[in-house]
Amino acid sequence: MSEPWNKMVYDRDGGCWVVWMKGATFVVHCGECFEIRVRDRGIPCRLELDRDWYVIMREARFNLRNKDSYQIRFV
């Protein structure tokens, strides 16, 4: 059975992305790998930071929008 999806949001005070998992909040660090949900599919990616936070996928990269939330799961 695969892990459940968890909500990842931007913490403006900390300047980082956090995920709520098992009743606690965890910081997602630069270089961490996870799956990000696109429609009903998990796409493997890695979180990175330049001027803005972004994820690197096999064929693409995209900036994360600080005002949006994302569904992720660690694999």
3-state class (DSSP) for residue 38: strand
pTM for the structure as a whole? 0.91
What is the distance, to the nearest Å, from the Cα of residue 50 to the centroid of all Cα atoms in its chain? 15
pLDDT interval class at 60 (50, 70, 90)? very high
Q: Convert the pLDDT of each residue in 35-45 to its tens digit.
A: 999 999 999 99
What is the distance, to the nearest Å, from the Cα of residue 62 to the centroid of all Cα atoms in its chain? 12
3-state class (DSSP) for residue 32: coil
What residue spans define the domains of the chain? 6-73
Cα separation of 14 and 67, whole Å?
14
Cα separation of 72 and 39, whole Å?
12
Q: 6-73, what's its fold?
A: Thrombin, subunit H (2.40.10)
Is the Cβ–Cβ distance between 48 and 68 less than 8 Å?
Answer: no
pLDDT of residue 21: 87
Q: Convert the pLDDT of each residue in 15-35 to its tens digit.
A: 999 999 888 999 999 999 999
